[in-house]
Amino acid sequence: MGELSSGADIQPLEDDDPARLGRFPLIGRLAAGGMGRVYLGRSLTDGMLVAIKSPLAQAEVSAVDRRRFAREVKVARRAEGLRTARVLGADAEAERPWLATEYIPAPSLAELVSEAGTLAGTAALRVTRGAVEAVAELHRHGIVHRDVKPQNLLLPLSGPRLIDFGISHAADLTRTQLTLGTVAFTSPEQARGEPSTAASDIYSLGATLFHLVVGRAPYPGGMEMLALLTYVAEANLDLTGLPGELAPVVRECLALRPGNRPTAEDLLDSLTAELAEMPTLAGPEGWLPRPWTAIIEAYARQGRELAADPRAVGTAPEQSAKPSGSPLSPGRSAAHSAEAAAERTAHLPTSPEDKTPQPGDRPTGARSRGESVFVRAVQGLMAFALLLLGGALAYGYYQNRQAEQPGPVDRAFAEIRTGDCIQTGLDPAGRWLATSPETTDCAAPGAHWRVVASTSQAIPDRCGAPYAGVAWTRSSRAATISLCLERLFHPGECVIGAQPDPAALTEVTPLRNEPVFATTVQCSDTAPDTLAVLRVLKYGLSDTTCPPQTQVRYRFPDRGRILCLTTT
């Protein structure tokens, strides 16, 4: 078998491992634990790599477990955004149940912080926005993840991806469960055995972001799990070292009462506005620290080599919270960890959540005697559940489902061809104003985009075309399609661009996804202090001359064009 250059750790298949699960031949073992195993496999139809979970199958799988995890994979399928790992297949009725998901060759935030240090400044804000966007996408689908933590947020160069729906549930399900996952990143209400809500994810996100910039959980160190549970249940925090740029966001997320926490959409709007006022930077390579990009690039390189070599085995990254030692030798699964393969849930009696609005959180150190007794009772139940579940199989089993037919949106994306022009709007925050592309005549004033490429890949937003100003990706159960788009500018329309220099012509070479590509700007709009609303005078070949009144000139060297702009 071939050996790749990165030296990462995929273990070869052993005698008790299957050669294939469902339609996926197995390449090697990514992770193994007491509950189950995670394999690296390959699709026979298109050659794409997949991560496949399967229990050890040492005992017969109960019908209750099969139904429960069939429901969980249904929840995962509902999360069709760009920031999750797609479910590609599952069979809960097989003799050895399995679940196949998109393989994401990227390290987790836990590994990056452990091996390359914490983030600060603009880099921390940009990663935070991506993480918030991932949570917001789930909440738009009515899904509560229930286990947001650094180990479950992967960071490819295309942006954070939230993985592991092993203990997720839809918000419309009312059964109460207590997550026995990473206690330090769970919410107070989960620690008390109360129902999880979208606000629970926000608290976990706040703890994760604190870890991103400080390097530890937001509680005093050196405690055993049950002692830590008491601190979590009361939001008894230690925020020493929290830098100013993320302090407001983290403190709001870590409010004791769920009703006092912001929603994911609120956070996303706030961070988008804050980043819009900052200088536009290159891609992640331009704003992430070099130690971070070295690890990310190592994972990406290994993923490309594995995808290109059908014989490759033993070298795929394997994700875990435990550091492997070298930033250039990642040794963790890029999609799932052994912990993720063995997440456990315990059913606990709970009291209804207090829905009465509160004027504010009480001091973190104060608690009533009744609350303390309740917390100790939950601790006892949790410890008992851990003992019971420690040797039991509580892994994900999934219902066999036929591949779904493409829906109208999938078909709309699939029908787009290179050279087509699209009139769909894009706002300055990078959000599309329609769910599917709308084609139009390329000479029409509303033709904002020309399609320069269309790709179908497991990892979205990977156009690879330097002249593509924007990539629009549709990711669903049926397919992932990325449209690589060139912005078309029309004389008279207004855009958001660089602030002109009163004394000289301002020259700009834009990068991808800058505000200048937005199509919804009105000439009467206002722009952030560092930018300006500009009117298009001319958009043409780079060897043409701009009109005399031009104040800002954008150059697009890869497409051989210039954009001539003036103030409104």
Catalytic residues: 147
Element (H, E) at 484: strand 480-487
How many C-beta neighbours within 10 Å does residue 243 have?
Answer: 14
Q: Report residue 5 as tokens.
A: 């250059």
Nearest CA to 458 out of 436, 482, 432 is that of: 482
Please tell me the distance from the alpha carbon of residue 296 to that of residue 307, in angstroms, as a whole number. Answer: 17
- 544 exposure class (CB count in 10 Å sphere: 0-12, 13-18, 19+): exposed
Give the strand pairing for 552-556 and 506-508. Answer: parallel
Half-sphere exposure of residue 191: CA atoms within 13 angstroms, side-chain side: 27
Quote the DSSP letter at residue 197.
-
How many CB atoms within 10 Å of residue 412? 18
Q: What DSSP string runs through 364-393?
A: TT---HHHHHHHHHHHHHHHHHHHHHTTS-
According to DSSP, residue 486 is labeled: E
Joined together, the tokens standing for residue 381 give: 């139940």
395's enclosing H/E stretch is none
Using CA atoms, how far apart are residues 149 and 134, in angstroms rounded to an integer? 12
Question: Are the beta carbons of 400 and 93 closer than 8 angstroms?
Answer: yes
- Phi (first) and psi of residue 425, to 5 degrees: -80, 150
- SS3 readout for 274-315: HHHCCCCCCCHHHHCCHHHHHHHHHHHHHHHHHHHCCCCCCC
C-alpha distances out from residue 455 to 72, 458, 466, Å? 30, 10, 14
How far does Cα 388 stand from its chain's mean position? 33
With CA atoms as reference, report the closest residue to 151 among 98, 217, 89.
217
Residue 21 backbone phi and psi in degrees, to 5: -130, 120
Close Cβ partners of 73 (under 8 Å, ≥ 6 residues apart): 87, 90, 92, 99, 165, 396, 398, 399, 401
Helices (H), 390-523: 408-414
* Greatest CA separation for the chain: 80
Contact 166, 72 (CB under 8 A): yes
